[in-house]
Amino acid sequence: MTANQTKSLIRKDLDHVDEELRPALDHFPEFKLNLEGLSVLRAFPPSDPLRDPPYKETIIHHPERGDGLRMLIIDPGTTGKPRPALLYLHGGGFVFGSPEQILPTMQKLAADVGCVICLPAYRLAPENTFPAPLEDNYLALSWMFENAKALGIDTDRIAVGGDSAGGGHAANLAIAARDRQFYPISFQLLLYPMLDDRTGSSRPVPDKVGEFIWTVESNKFGWSSYLGCPAGGPNVPSQAVPARRQDLTKLPPTLIATGSLDLFCEENSRFADRLDQNGVDVDLQIFSGAYHGFNVMVPEAKISKRFHQCCVEGLKEGLKAKQN
């Protein structure tokens, strides 16, 4: 096969990808997610933060955690009445990622929505399996409610959200908050959320999805690391996996946004259907020709800008002040 034929074959394989998103794939290195490669991924330098809006770091102390929970707080500096807030959980397949790696994206979101955004550095797998990350995120949520006055936020307008694994964590946190009945969440923003350990393990995936960025192999490793047992197996604790939870009633209104080529597209659609069947107000937005993490990889693409605007409008609507 000649070089031109190879190039033609690659181009044909990318025909189902949004045109503006294709070039980025040429620069994305193929990798196999495993224990040996984690140190490289975790050491990947984050993007420089924006100058505005400002952010600060705080440590949330807890008697059961000697080191405390580190969290970044983005404050757009709006004045007047108490503002809405978003607890946002970073992605990284449960095994890598940090608040700093999504800081510029979240600064822009905070400015466009006019809300405070808190980014906790929850514990990562495989060193910390379920329920450690859930308890970290619940601690961050409780801290926001207990310190709402100092933060200048309205406890009637606190949302949770996240992308990829962070979206899965956010969905699990919303269920935990409902069950524990202490801190009412007003909205969920789930961006291509990682919701079901069975995807690619005990449940096959359709053609043309999960080919880029986040693959079946990575998904198995991420879930198995987080669960402490093989993904898709009979010993998976249902309380660790949003899609395995039987009761999805009484959850907050939810926006799920995903790409049609994302490995999680089918499980996201299935979860949205179940939320709807359980009486939850849910909006599912599928972006055609988009792969996993496209909005971060190619933020200037038209489809990425539409994705961002979808998030802004969804959050603004979900965090509206309640009418008396």
Range of the domain at 64: 17-318
Q: Is the pLDDT of residue 2 over 60?
A: no
Amino acid at 108: K
Residue 201 located in a structural domain: yes
Q: Answer yes or no: is 9 within a domain.
A: no
| Residue 6 located in a structural domain | no
- Give the per-residue pLDDT at 295: 97
- 3-class SS at 12? helix
Report the amino acid identity of residue 235: N
pLDDT average, residue stretch 312-317: 98
pLDDT band for 79, please (50, 70, 90 cuts).
low
Read off the DSSP letter of residue 324.
-
Is 100 a domain residue?
yes
Residue at 148 is within a domain: yes
Beta-carbon-side half-sphere exposure of residue 191 (alpha carbons within 13 Å)? 28
pLDDT digits (tens, 9 = 90+) for 133-181: 999 999 999 999 999 999 999 999 999 999 999 999 999 999 999 999 9
Q: Is 150 exposed, middle or buried (0-12, 13-18, 19+ CB in 10 A)?
A: exposed
State the CATH number of the domain containing residue 269: 3.40.50.1820
* DSSP state, residue 292: T
Residue 243 lies in a domain: yes
Please state, for a pLDDT cut of 70, what percent of the chain lies above it.
94
How many independent structural domains does the chain possess? 1
How much is the pTM? 0.94
In which band, very low, low, confident or very high, does the pLDDT at 1 lie, cut at 50, 70 and 90? very low
Q: Which of 145, 147, 144, 137 is nearest to 167 (CA)?
A: 137
Is there a domain that residue 300 lies in? yes
Residue 213 pLDDT: 94
Per-residue pLDDT averaged across 302-315, rounded?
98
pLDDT at 10: 41
Q: What is the pLDDT of residues 273-283, one digit of tens each?
A: 999 999 999 99
Q: Is 159 exposed, middle or buried (0-12, 13-18, 19+ CB in 10 A)?
A: buried
pLDDT at position 322, please?
65
4 belongs to a structural domain: no
Region of poorest pLDDT, from 45-54, 193-202, 215-224: 45-54
Residue pLDDT, tens place only, 243-271: 999 999 999 999 999 999 999 999 999 99
| CA distances, 271 to each of 194, 195, 265, 291 (Å) | 11, 8, 10, 19
Does residue 63 have a cis peptide bond before it, meaning omega lies within 30 degrees of 0? Answer: no
Going by pLDDT thresholds of 50, 70 and 90, the confidence category of residue 13 is confident
